[in-house]
Amino acid sequence: MIRIQEIFKKVKSKITLDLAFLTLGLIVISLIYAFISISLHNRFLTFGLDLGYFDETIWKISRGKFPYSGVGCIWLLEDHFQPILYLLAPLYWIWDDVRILLLFQSFVMVFAAFPLYLLSKKITRHTFFSLSIVFSYLFFIGTQFAILNEFHQVTLAPFLISLIFYALSIKKNSLFILGVIGLLVTKEDLSLLVAAIGIGLIFKKGARKTGVITLALGIVSFFLLIYWIMPSISIKGVYSHMDFGEAGATPVDILLKIIVNPSFFFRTMVIPQIKLETLFRSLFNFGFLPIFSPFPYFIPLAEDFVSRFIYSGPQVTKWGLVNHHAATSAILLAITSIYGARRIEKIFLQNSKGFLVISLILIITTITQDILFKAPVNSIFKKAFYFEEEWVKNNKEVLAYVPETAAVAAQNNLLPHLTHRDSIYRVPYGLNSEYIVVDLHDGPNKYSPLTYSEIMEFVQDLLKTKRYSIVYQKGEAVLLKRNYKTDITKSKYYGDTRYCYYSFEER
């Protein structure tokens, strides 16, 4: 009995009150974000090409099947280099439902704040400031949208990045290596972030050797992946994301263009205006503290924004804060804010109340931004968020009639509710599927890549030619069943890569 009491006292002494409070707070916030995310999915407001694609491929891995996606017409590792997603497959052994991904994403991105807090406490030795930086990270609009924007592999990165910088602060090489390897197997372009971390370390006394190795590892990994490894494992034999719009087709093209025309680089960093707005809102949320961060820690943040802004379109969401692209920026802004605050406190304030003032500024700017720019977390306070519209009920009823193992084609917002099967496609592909499901109640992103008029024309053509017949309908939700197969190569959408990466339809 005495031995048990001694063990309990030792454990209690290590678990401080602030860590207990932090852990409880992170669990609560994770559940809030998970609740919002799952509620959006339940109301058919999730994007099929993203959530449906990840759900389909990871689910197939959990069942020992090759992770080829009929939704994206591509297999998991040729889309992006993301082997880390194989580690998520066991989640489906716990709960065989797409919502497990949304729940996991909420927790993993929120709990990136745990090593972030430990880092801040180590650097500043100020509890209230450390809690404030966690608050700013968790309620930054970029963080909120990254969590609530379906599921993406990049939301795993903030935890790894936070772990890397905490490991550096306590000189724990094993944690640092774990974080770096984690980034390299999360997404190929995170290799450039690894390289940027290496550049920063080269300018940090006592870390130059680590910096050189990290820089070399990041650069070599990036070029090996996009020029050799990914093309070699691709069905088409190419890296599918080698196009940066006006900036150039390849990283080498971009580099040459910047050297020949330096003004292009500066122009593309500020045009269009949304880039400057994103930069201002990001810095404002963190009280402009990142600006004061020492050079070694500022470099990775600069790389993150440059890699987003150098892209010239057409995916303009990459420049803003309303998509998953801000996930890495969110944690890097928080980390640079820690070092920026320490520098300000040492140079300008030099008193015990310095961090208290900075903390209050952080809390005020974060709350102000959430109010001014209508942060998505505010939706939980709206009555409409809890109201289930008739078209939602109709969709649920119609989907219940879809056979579990049948080959299905569905419009964008219905896809994530049907992806646990061998054959699933996004309309207008999968034209020989046994069933096609549509919801003709108009709304944003429901029919992507088609428009409302195009989906109406699509359905009318199927019925007019009698290739499909309506087998169940509730309101504007319709379930169609195939009458006979046709030559899909004659479809006007066949071979159009705007709609499918490789245009591989059901054969």
User: Per-residue pLDDT tens for 259-310?
Assistant: 888 888 889 899 999 999 999 999 999 999 999 999 999 999 999 999 999 9
> Rounded to 5 degrees, what are φ and ψ at 75?
-100, 160
pLDDT > 50? residue 426: yes
Q: Which two tokens stand for residue 318?
A: 């990459």
Task: Pick the more confident residue, 212 or 266.
Answer: 212
Question: In this predicted structure, what is the pLDDT of residue 9?
Answer: 54
CA distance 188 to 183: 8
Residue-wise pLDDT tens digits, 47-92: 888 999 999 999 999 999 999 999 988 899 999 999 999 999 999 9
Give me the pLDDT at residue 5, please.
Answer: 55
Give the mean pLDDT of the chain. 91
Once rounded to an integer, what is the mean pLDDT over residues 147-163?
97
CB-based burial label for 172 (10 Å; 0-12, 13-18, 19+): middle
Calpha distance 366→384 (Å, rounded): 25
344: Cα separation from own chain's centroid: 32
Q: Is residue 13's pLDDT more than 70?
A: no
pLDDT interval class at 352 (50, 70, 90): low
pLDDT class for 11, splitting at 50, 70, 90?
very low
* CA separation for the pair 491, 485 (Å, rounded): 13
Q: What integer is the mean pLDDT of 1-8?
A: 53
Report yes or no: 272 and 320 within 8 Å, Cβ to Cβ: no
Please give the pLDDT value at position 86. Answer: 98
Whether 338 has a pLDDT exceeding 80, the answer reads: yes
pLDDT at 503 over 60: no
Determine the pLDDT at residue 501: 58
Residue 202 CA to residue 341 CA, distance in Å, equals 22
Examine the pLDDT at 474 and tell me if it is beyond 90: yes
Residue 100's pLDDT is 98
Task: Indicate the SS3 state at residue 274.
Answer: helix
Helix axes 190-202, 173-184, angle to 10 degrees: 150
Q: What pLDDT does residue 1 have?
A: 52
Residue 502: pLDDT band (50, 70, 90) is low
Minimal CA–CA distance to 202: which of 215, 219, 184?
215
Reply yes or no on whether the pLDDT at 167 is more than 70.
yes
pLDDT at 507: 45
Q: What was the pLDDT predicted at 496?
A: 72
- Supply the pLDDT for residue 8: 45
CB 200 within 8 A of CB 297: yes
Report the pLDDT averaged over residues 24-31.
Answer: 98
**Among 160-169, 234-243, 336-345, where is mean pLDDT lowest?**
234-243
pLDDT at 431: 86
| Per-residue pLDDT at 120 | 97
Q: What are phi and psi of 337, to 5 degrees?
A: -65, -35
Predicted TM-score (pTM) of this structure: 0.93
Q: How confident is the model at residue 444 (pLDDT cuts 50, 70, 90)?
A: confident
First to last CA, the chain: 69
pLDDT score at 2: 57
